[in-house]
Structure 1
């Protein structure tokens, strides 16, 4: 059962909702006053005052108003070419959520302030206000047409504290507008936003950003610029809207096999297994303290005789990979592939200019036998992570762009559920991203993280909002493996019984 509802509504120009939208002026109007309108949206983002109760939870979201915010000034009207790395990402809106504590201010998260600043931010970041389209060859590009971004104001009787540790569950996903993809890629906004006011006085900001348009760093560049404008600051770093620097060479000349774009290892099954067993998945988030990270690093140094030291991220990524293999009960001879999202901005030579706006995410993919990951010291997994990251230099990344240029269908390389599921794993690090810098004038967020994890076997590593050196691991696993994973994660040298994976179709 889906947790949202789609329907069509006919509205007349005399509708109070229409009139309210039009009073915001051309930048905020979500419709035009001409005759009758046929409006199609997901119900919980289109009906003012509607209440949608999810079958998955108790939280009720009441929509106060939905508007389309357009750039405050005229912006370039053109088609923006997408690089190959913009097109090998899922065609979806990447979800993230911010939470803020109340300040006692009478204008706390005033929607008018937010929308005014948003309209100004859309001037330099004008692709955000556009739509996707296909060129004459069918390649996806951005139609910079200034049609605007969706801004939803909502409220709930729930409390911020009801979310506990902010695990990216279906409950959290309700704080982000759902997107109706049925009308094709040109029918929906590239950016959807929802400000939800809680009974306790707190606020959440839900962000859904089309992945073909921006990666994590570019998305944060936009949100943080928006927040700066909301509190009266100037734009610190204008975006660079030019993706041609990531064109493949002519002619393309890949130098490496690029296993990152090849099929992942399949789960070994016994001969008597004839069908896939159903399974459920669970999404959880776990804190790893600075002291625990130091313990891991010290253990690794002792194991290799102080001949090598590893970063906190390398150690934690290796540790998570190792723990997932153990929790899944993988056979000793089972191959496991780790997908590590890697920012190429500073790895290219010369580095991309500061403010480059788009996707620059490449993938490091160490492969190891599960038996080695489980039986060898934890430093072995960290070494495999480092070895794959060191390889990601300018030669390798340029080769990857050329490799993609030679592929007949880039959509065939897009990763999904088949990529990360058992026995494999995906890790995306937000540790070095400025995810807590979005201060709109009422303080920094108490939490920012993914608004959902789409696939089993996908994980995120997040920095602490208090800069105490701790990390959080948000991960989706088969339910029967999650409790085992939690035990292994916080019991570094321990040994526990194994449970076998179940197959997926």
Structure 2
């Protein structure tokens, strides 16, 4: 797919914004220092297809400049304080918006697998000149030959997690669609102080997430492939039935769909990867802690409110037990994420001389490990800029082995999708196991 860039604009806030350094919490600092990428796709409808202003870039830019006033940190740049700690320099330098076109049609992208082709729809970031040199938000509007449009988004992870990033995008779309006065939107809670460490840090739990992950020493092949698997309502019902069939009568847990599906994916991955029985495997699960803190974070909190939990087990135990065994590990790992646990982790990080140095790296999730992120409860299909809701929204790329996303269906029919990257020689076996219920 060839992309032709037509215009590049640095969009700045429409009004005056505070000039300040924004302190970032330990949860903000420990996340990967990269941009989280996603892509929206839109098609003209019967009411918008003949409109000459379908995804008019001027409408998008005007609305973007307005929403950057209350969400002013996004228009800044990363910097470091006198101790070398990452912070946001709220300097209103702006966000990047690229207008591009392609002779390809949306149907050329099939089921929107997060492949390198999809990555072309998001502006590339040059990290070589230091953290102060690049925008915190990069956007690309690509016009397809068929009349469809994609919106590629790259949000710097130190600035916001998925929930906060989507809130920004959705408010931007509301302003573009309705002309909503920015003064009428709930003011975002910018300060990160709810996640400040205690005056005397006292970690009280073991936080294995920050320990060296298990490695599969004999696996040298690093070539990965990404696929999307569709989970129909019938598939989901069969998975639930399997749990009931295998269920231990002494087990009183009421598993969520996420726990059942994640346990199934973990077990299938262990088997497809042919892990030895004595091989340890860890599963990383991001958990939204906004409602788990005491007091709860404000609904308008803007930043990172996600903390990972990490069940660990021997592959032999995962494989020799029914699927509910893996789901139980997931259940209890999520259940223990409460205010005490998160504050213990924040205090643990506070005592580290170099927080980014102990953060799980991009290879932490490769075989024998996994990271599974759920976007099922996120409002990923609410970004209507005035020309209709997206026909699809998902990750803009999964380049690393062991990364997976659970996505809701764009048709709201109760089905789900699993986007996952695995070693090329593992994917075929995984697909067969995944659908064998």
Match of 2:312 among 367, 372, 377: 367
CA contact (8 A) 1:297 1:309 kept: no
**Aligned residue number for residue 193 of structure 2:** 244
Match of 1:82 among 9, 14, 24: 24
**TM-score, normalized by length of structure 2?**
0.96
Pairing of 1:98-177 with structure 2 (within 5 A)? 98-103=40-45, 104=49, 105-177=51-123
Once the 2 structures are TM-superposed, how far is the Cα of residue 236 of structure 1 from its aligned partner? 4.0
Q: Which runs of 5+ in 1 are unaligned?
A: 1-58, 270-275, 493-505
**Aligned residue number for residue 91 of structure 1:** 33
Q: Which runs of 5+ in 2 are unaligned?
A: none
1:226 is the counterpart of 2:193: no
How many residue pairs get aligned? The number is 428
Match of 2:152 among 193, 206, 215: 206
Aligned to 1:395, the other structure's residue is in SS state helix
CA contact (8 A) 2:272 2:433 kept: yes
CA contact (8 A) 1:335 1:423 kept: yes
Aligned to 2:59, the other structure's residue is in SS state helix
**Aligned residue number for residue 297 of structure 2:** 352
Once the 2 structures are TM-superposed, how far is the Cα of residue 374 of structure 1 from its aligned partner? 1.4
Measure the CA separation in 2 of the matches of 1:489 and 1:354: 36
**Aligned residue number for residue 315 of structure 1:** 260
Once the 2 structures are TM-superposed, how far is the Cα of residue 268 of structure 1 from its aligned partner? 5.3
**TM-score, normalized by length of structure 1?**
0.83
Deviates more, 1:468-477 or 1:134-143: 468-477
Once the 2 structures are TM-superposed, how far is the Cα of residue 223 of structure 1 from its aligned partner? 0.3
Measure the CA separation in 1 of the matches of 2:135 and 2:53: 28
Measure the CA separation in 1 of the matches of 2:196 and 2:399: 30
Once the 2 structures are TM-superposed, how far is the Cα of residue 436 of structure 1 from its aligned partner? 0.7
Match of 2:162 among 216, 219, 231: 216
Tell me the C-alpha RMSD between the 2 structures: 1.2
1:387 is the counterpart of 2:328: no
1:281 is the counterpart of 2:217: no
Measure the CA separation in 2 of the matches of 1:246 and 1:256: 17
Measure the CA separation in 1 of the matches of 2:220 and 2:18: 53
Pairing of 1:478-489 with structure 2 (within 5 A)? 478-489=423-434
1:302 is the counterpart of 2:245: yes
Aligned to 2:313, the other structure's residue is in SS state strand
1:193 is the counterpart of 2:136: no
CA contact (8 A) 1:301 1:308 kept: no
Once the 2 structures are TM-superposed, how far is the Cα of residue 299 of structure 1 from its aligned partner? 1.7
Match of 2:394 among 438, 449, 457: 449
Once the 2 structures are TM-superposed, how far is the Cα of residue 309 of structure 1 from its aligned partner? 2.6
Aligned to 1:176, the other structure's residue is in SS state coil
Measure the CA separation in 1 of the matches of 2:70 and 2:289: 23
1:63 is the counterpart of 2:12: no
Which protein shows a greater Rg?
Answer: 1
Aligned to 1:417, the other structure's residue is in SS state coil
1:265 is the counterpart of 2:214: yes
Measure the CA separation in 2 of the matches of 1:184 and 1:80: 18
Measure the CA separation in 2 of the matches of 1:185 and 1:364: 28
1:476 is the counterpart of 2:421: yes
**Aligned residue number for residue 44 of structure 1:** none
**Aligned residue number for residue 30 of structure 1:** none
